[in-house]
Structure 1
Amino acid sequence: MAKLLGNLSTALLLSVALLLVVLFGFHGSLISEGSHFVNGVFRFLHVLCGIMWIGLLYYFNFVQIPTMPKVPAELKPGVSKYIAPEALFWFRWAAAFTVLTGLIVAMLSGYLHEALMLKPGFRVIGLGMWLALIMAFNVWFVIWPNQKKALGLVEADADTKAKAATTAMIFSRTNTVLSLPMLYCMVTQGWLGGV
């Protein structure tokens, strides 16, 4: 079992194989329904990417940021040179693909324009979409550029690194604040409907 699950690639292949069993074994008739199937696939991808994005956001805010002051100075480079850059890679691309797949779902479902314009009946999902767009903007255009400086991935003096670290943290916390109302809007649109 350790040999099978000890390798991440093997574990992911096993997960995809099980997904295909579920897809074709239990929902085979859906595949013939064309656009519903495509919409379902993009909804699945949207949720999958969203879990990765918000999961990493919470990792940074609930684990890494509060723990770093307790880490001995000689061990901090292990986080800043190896763990943080890798986590930030997945974080920013999960944000991009969450937004992309969400927009595709809204387009396939026929409510993209109405939601973005916050029209009646689509205000809840529209507000969630706008919050997610703001959060993704923060990831790509504020957090990531500042994290590159703070982690030493680009040249910066000590004062610039310190300011960049603070800016990245403040915008990461901003995204944490926005995440709860965003998630609420995404999850409740179906039963709040015409709000």
Structure 2
Amino acid sequence: MIRVLLVDDQQLVRAGLRMLCESDPEMEVVGEAADGGPAVRMAQQLRPDVIVMDLRMPGVDGTTATARILADRPSTRILVLTTFDDDDHLYPALAAGACGFLVKDASPGELLDGVRRAAAGESPFSPDVLRRLVAKALRPAEPPRPALTNLTDREREVLALVGTGLSNPEIAERLHLGVTTVKTHVANLMTKTRSGNRVQLAVMAAQSGLVA
């Protein structure tokens, strides 16, 4: 069971998110908070697996709350869900430790998948956001990354699909592999490329020409 804490200053948004999450038998909404201050306290008390975090809120904003929560409970997965996907909101949230970033025009299925992926240790991003992260990393001033000569053909295939933003189950379906096998390939890719997360792998895929 994935324990979820919802943080948004709009009651109607929280109600909709609660109904959506509780429609999934694998999720339990353990609490709601209207701003970052109560969210920090509730994260300590309720120990959620995933926090769905808005950014612009009265009182303590989502970026500040994210940093405070992770300073106390670094294993918590914080998934940003916001209307504002500009760089002024994106990069501070990621620097604070958010594991993913979705915009509020995401479909219900995309949001539920994002919560599941966050709980599984992945980094869910809206496609447009991921493309911006990759594009920024590909600017000329960015130093080149290591060559991929040490990767197997299968690892290259997996890396290319990570670069398009696919989740592990989606990659498994595309390549006719087991999800556990894909997870192993992703773990090996992170080790071989010295990447700390899936975003860095996506950047690596683009830099190496594996993603158009």
* Structure with higher RCO (Cα < 8 A, 6+ apart): 1
TM-score (norm 1): 0.31
Looking at CA atoms only, which structure, 1 or 2, has the larger radius of gyration?
1
